[in-house]
Amino acid sequence: MTTTTTQSLTLKVSRHIKASRERVFAAWSTADMLVQWLGGGSTKLISSSIDLRAGGDYRLKASGGHCDMDMVGEFREVKPPERLVFTWSVGNCLPEYKGMQSLVTVELTEQKGGTLVQLTHEGFPDTVIRDRHDHGWNASFDALEKLV
């Protein structure tokens, strides 16, 4: 696992997952699978809907953590099984999230024994929110490893 933060308030998380690229992509792009791993820690996804196409939207509902929240966004790029790009908004569960929209890029590279997952999440308004997402993404990746 590698986590990198930069001055531009971008978060990068990389993880080698012992599963095929197709299986990992399915976990990112199938509503039933997403509910099983995204969130991690005390935050659990309780529902999801996905319109998997460029211009399609997704809606996720999570419970726990700081508060119950709706996560919504639009897919900008869908390239199975190697790349997803989507906007990310966590709604107004905390005042500092109000109006926040960021961009997530997920790249899946086939490697010996599995898949390298490289997530780039950019556009954070401050380091506190970026660091919360660092914790959340790493907890989610822990759960993803167990699922696939």
Q: Domains in the chain, start-ordered, CATH in brackets?
A: 2-147 (3.30.530.20)
Listed in order, strand segments (DSSP E) in the chain are: 2-5, 10-17, 44-50, 57-63, 69-79, 83-88, 102-111, 114-122
pLDDT of the residue at 69: 83
Reference 71, options 104, 24, 25; nearest CA is 104
> pLDDT at position 65, please?
66
Cα gap 106→125, rounded to integer Å: 20
Beta bridge partners of 98: none
Residue 21's H or E segment, with its range, is helix 21-29
pTM: 0.90
d(CA 25, CA 79): 10
- What tokens appear for 78 in the block? 């869908």
Burial of 69 (0-12, 13-18, 19+ CB in 10 A): buried
The whole-angstrom distance between residue 148's C-alpha and the CA centroid of its chain comes to 16
Q: What are the structure tokens assigned to 48, written together?
A: 């999801």
Specify the amino acid at residue 24.
V
**Residue 5: per-residue pLDDT:** 45
- Going residue by residue through the chain, which has 148 residues, state the pLDDT in tens, using 9 for 90 and above: 555 544 469 999 999 999 999 999 999 999 999 999 998 777 889 999 999 999 999 999 988 766 788 889 999 999 999 999 999 998 767 777 777 899 999 999 999 999 999 999 999 999 998 998 999 999 999 999 999 9
Assess contact for 38 and 25: CB atoms under 8 A: no
